[in-house]
Amino acid sequence: MKVIIVGGVAGGATAAARIRRLDEQAEIVVFERSGYISYANCGLPYYIGGVITDRSDLTLQTPESFFARFRVHMKVHHEVTAIHPERKAVSVRNLETGEEFEESYDKLLLSPGAKPTQPRLPGVGLSRLFTLRTVEDTFRIKSYIDQAHPRSAVLAGGGFISLELAENLRELGLDVTIVQRPKQLMKPFDPDMASFIHAELRRHGVRLALGHTVEGFEERDGGVDVLLKDESPLHADMVVLAIGVTPDTALAASAGLELGVRGSIAVNDRMETSVPDIYAVGDAVQVKHFVTGQETLLSLAGPANKQGRIAADNICGGNSRYPGSQGSSILKVFGMTAAVTGVNETTAKAAGLDADAVILSPMSHAGYYPGGKVMTLKVVFEKGTYRLLGAQIVGYEGVDKRIDVLATAIHAGLKATELMDLDLAYAPPYSSAKDPVNMAGFMIDNIAHGILRQWRLEDAATLPRDGSVTLLDTRTVEEFAQGHIDGFVNIPVDELREHLEELDPGKPVYVICQSGLRSYIACRILDGHGFTCYNFSGGFRFYDAVMHEHHLVETATACGMDQ
């Protein structure tokens, strides 16, 4: 059997190694148009920032090392220019010599990946305008910084690569501005959770120009003007386009393969395309979202590696299936960690799911053990069924292990209420006896049994201030004096029982405290005395952080510059 693989990196290189492990006799040839067959794509911003100092550390395998171990022919600087399914062959161009030739195959695997989205805007192609996707892109940016010593950069786009690059450029001393058309960064997060990411970036001097549309680029005064719709230009010494990626599927399209979302390659759960004996994996393929079941695109290294293994199994006569992508991701933002899995509340509702969420602010480990830090955790579930839909966490310690537990729970089909039953490791330096994941489960179980009723951030502006409801803040007098929501009266929870006669049991009570715990206790007291009580999800800490960031974004949008 002869297998041709188009593209290396995650999916293609993984498939090549797996095929060899399953079939020692197969002839395997990989054509890669760049000079690198397997590299740490996610490490590229950290090489630019000097965290990774040796460029060879970015290269996981070379053609020589791959051949030595797997006897796979890795042909770098070779571009496949056409597929001929009718005669099971591909046309190839040697980019170093210009030679063109055909190569036959029994099985063909496409792993072309995705390319940086290049908007059709004036000025695209300027020398100080960069993209970051490949090792070559990385070296180009690094070389420019080392030689030109730029003092400022504008990053167009607010996804993973942009934020990682923003951090690394700031660490090099550059003034950094991120410009983004939506009014939030990091689309996988709900706007309320993205607020914490915004705040961390601002704390480290990154300017945010949110809600602004880029209309072009012009060279001026040795730098680049980023032209904005209805606003003054942003000027910088360099600009990086990081507005997303587009599936690189021109080859598949010209060969007549069925395409899917945004021009991606349509595949089944065996990673088979619409043409027999042609498989496809990685950032170029359409997949089903594990939670919603909808067709989607998710450009992540983990799924690409898994898909490469599955395609290899099936090429070698197996019957492996890809269950879908869940979108589990994690990001370092200076000192903060932000992580997500499944779908956020916004996406869930857009998909027609009757979604709800709990928000909590637990410590990363036992409060009595020194060094614990607060994290904010949002768990999204389906009303009625309590199906676990997704989770988002921002914090400083312990975020990674909690998101992995929640990702596993979603994959295993656990209900959100069953999170309270998970037997998770506990010692004071690492967790609490009631782990944050367990706590989320307790809260959702209370909702399921009618013990907890919630009100949410989006309800705050519409709560009646006409006396028809009671608005109650159960924090201390000192906390209340430092900031509170207009219209709320302050009765500390430990004094509540002594003030019950001041409250009307015929009116619903909306309660808030700093984190949500004291207000929950207040609700249990009030419920026990015949009141109907609603607890604020997230607490005043959450409310204040989100509303402060919302104010900054709205002010910056109105003024045309980050505040």
Q: How many CB atoms lie within 10 A of CB 24?
A: 8
Q: Is 234 in contact with 226 (CB distance < 8 Å)? A: yes
Point out the residues that are catalytic. Answer: 42
Distance (Å, rounded) from C-alpha 310 to C-alpha 490?
59
Non-local (6+) Cβ contacts of 166 within 8 A are 155, 176, 178, 201, 206
Q: How many CB atoms lie within 10 A of CB 435?
A: 24
58-75: buried (b, 16+ CB within 10 Å) or exposed (e) per residue?
bbbbbbeebeeebebebb
3-state secondary structure of 474: coil
Helices 191-203 and 160-171: angle between axes, nearest 10 degrees: 20
Distance (Å, rounded) from C-alpha 259 to C-alpha 280?
11
* Residue 56: DSSP 8-state: G
For the sheet with 129-131, list strands across it: 129-131, 238-241, 152-156, 175-180, 207-210
Non-local (6+) Cβ contacts of 537 within 8 A are 357, 358, 359, 454, 455, 456, 457, 516
What is the sign of the dihedral through the CA atoms of 416, 421, 424 and 427? positive
Longest Cα separation, the chain: 90
